[in-house]
Every structure is written in structure tokens, then in C-alpha cells.
Amino acid sequence: MKTEHSDHFASIDRVAQSFAAVDYIASPAIATSVYLGFHLEKPILIEGPAGVGKTELAKSMAEILAVPLIRMQCYEGLDESKALYEWKYGKQLLYIQLLKDKLGEMMQGAQGLAESMDRLHAHDDLFFSEHFLEPRPLYQALHQEKGCVLLIDEIDKSDPEFEAFLLEVLSDFQVSVPELGTIKAKVKPIVFLTSNNTREMSDALKRRCLHLHITFPEPALERRILERRVPGLSDTLNRELVAFIQAVRQLDLKKLPSVSETIDWAKTLLLLNAEHLSLDLVRDTLNVFLKFEQDIATANEQMGNLLQQARKDAEVSHASHA
């Protein structure tokens, strides 16, 4: 996969261009991390607040490479069997019943216990084989003929024991299955792990990964994101909207508006045929990017100052690019 797609990753600038082609605007830090991760064949541990594009980065990578995206959502209690494989016990029971029904035919003509056992053993391996195995995300990722992008989402929600299990996978891209032996990746997957920092990751896991912290974008980058994701938005409204969101993020809120919520608000304003931000328009649509009543009340209290600051910042940005 590395050789086949090397043109997309010939340089850091080329990485940024490849992501832009699939509507993901990558900052220099993101483009550099992806470039290094691809060439060093190392997983990338992405940290940062929710909604800044961590999961979207993995999706865009899969689109660029034209390979499957295999996503494993982490949660408390996730264990090896749910991440790797489970046996299809119902199918195994049916197989046992079939063996019982056919046992007489199988043993017909057998001379003594030893020969009977030999005939029976001929069917033992099938019972614990891939025919009776339900593949989970890690198992699927190791079996992709042309490789894949493996997204281990919200790794911080899993238990430390599961994190320790991942070390073997991320070190050698192989796992040990007692009934089947060691399974090694046909093509090394490109791995992204995301974390919202609800708990600290272990040093052992961090050593095996490149670290990337994605925070809220600077105004210029956020405007570029809107240009790409909401193309019908006017330049004036784009600047005012981004300046307003940037000002809101300076407030003491329970949840700051994310990039995905900025995009949602831009689509909302476009749907309402807005050309400028107005007091009534903003108040009527605050719930699109603020998710707690307390945050909405805080923003309403500061609405006059926020709008004034947004318009001022939008004019400055416009003048600087005129």
C-alpha cells in the first residue's frame, strides 16, 4: 500500500493537497503527522476536544487511499473477544448436532477405538476454524488484502487492560489466537487512535505512536474549512460567522462549539438566506452550536459585545486580505 499510494504522500504539501481534494483542510501539523506516520509506518494517536476533526481525518485518509475504513468504537468493558473475534456458538451447536446425526456413518467399518478416534479427530479442527468465527474490527483489519485504515475511536474510554492488549497489535500488527495460532497482517493497516483525554494513556502505548493534538483552528483555517464544506456561503458571512464562533470560544462555557458545529451553523444560516449576522438571527440559532441551556444563557448575556467583536474582527480580516 505504501508504494502504490506514495504519490499522495511525496511531501507534506502533497499530503495537504490530497486531503483538500476530499474536502478535509489539514493544518501544517496534521499534514506533517500524516506524512511521518505513512512513511514511518507508525500509528497516530490523535488527542483534542470533540468535534475538531479527529475521526474525520481517518475517514478522509481511507478515501484518499481508496481502502476500507474499519472503525472500532471503544467503551468501558471492551475486551479482546469483542475487538478481535467471537465464536459463532449457535453454528457450532448445529455442527455438533450434525456430527451426532452422522456419527454412525463416520464410524462405519472402523476397526477398534484407535481408528474410530482417528476418524473423529479429522473433524476436530473444523470446529475451531474460521468457518465458525465472527470477525471483529481488529481481525478484519489484519485480513484486508489491499490494506485498510483502522480507526480505534475514543481509546481513552477503554480499560487499561484492553490498552495493554493493543500493544501486541500495534507493535507487530499480529495477534495470537489460541485455537488458530498467530495471525499476521497481510498488509499493515494505517492506524489512527483518537482520545478525548478522559484518562491518560500509558507510556507504552504512546511510545508506539506518533502524537498529534488537534485543537480548535485559527480563524483563517476555519474560514478555509467553511469555504470547502459550505461552498454557497458568502465571504462576508463566512468572516462574520467565524469571528463570532471564535469570540464565543473565549467564554466560560460548559462545551465550546466545535468545528463540526461551526459547519452546521453555516449550513443553517445558508438555509435561512442570511447575508449578515443580526441579533435576532443569532439568538434564534444559538442552539445549533451551543448544546447546554446554561451556555445559551451565557452567550445571550454577552450577545451585544460578541456581535460587535465579531464584526470588528471580520472587517480587520477582510482589510488584511484586500
Average pLDDT for 271-291: 95
pLDDT tens-place string over residues 31-80: 999 999 999 999 999 999 888 999 999 999 999 999 999 999 999 988 87
Average pLDDT for 174-182: 73
Q: With bands split at pLDDT 50, 70 and 90, how would you rate the model's confidence at 316?
A: confident
Counting Cα atoms < 13 Å in the Cβ hemisphere of 36 gives 13
Average pLDDT for 257-284: 95
- Cell digits of residue 315: 472587517
More confident: 5 or 9: 9
Q: With bands split at pLDDT 50, 70 and 90, how would you rate the model's confidence at 88?
A: low
- Cell digits of residue 211: 502524537
- Cell digits of residue 129: 476454524
Average pLDDT for 3-21: 87
Alpha helices in 109-234 (DSSP H): 112-121, 124-127, 137-142, 160-172, 203-207, 219-229
Look at residue 194 and give its three-state secondary structure.
Answer: strand
Distance CA 45, CA 218 (A): 22
Query: Percent of the chain at pLDDT above 70?
Result: 81
For 53-107, the three-class secondary structure string (H helix, E strand, C coil) is CHHHHHHHHHHHHCCCEEEEECCCCCCHHHHCEEECHHHHHHHHHHHHHHHHHHH
Residue 112 is predicted with a pLDDT of 62
Average pLDDT for 192-201: 88
Average pLDDT for 207-235: 94
Distance CA 304, CA 42 (A): 48
* Cα angle value 278/280/282 (rounded, 5°): 65
Residue 3 is predicted with a pLDDT of 57
In the predicted structure, residue 121 carries a pLDDT above the cut 80: no
The CA radius of gyration of the chain, in Å to the nearest whole number, is 27
pLDDT tens-place string over residues 245-268: 999 999 999 999 999 999 999 999
Residue 284 is predicted with a pLDDT of 96
- Rounded to a whole number, what is the largest CA-CA distance in the chain? 96
Q: With bands split at pLDDT 50, 70 and 90, how would you rate the model's confidence at 184?
A: confident
Q: With bands split at pLDDT 50, 70 and 90, how would you rate the model's confidence at 116?
A: low
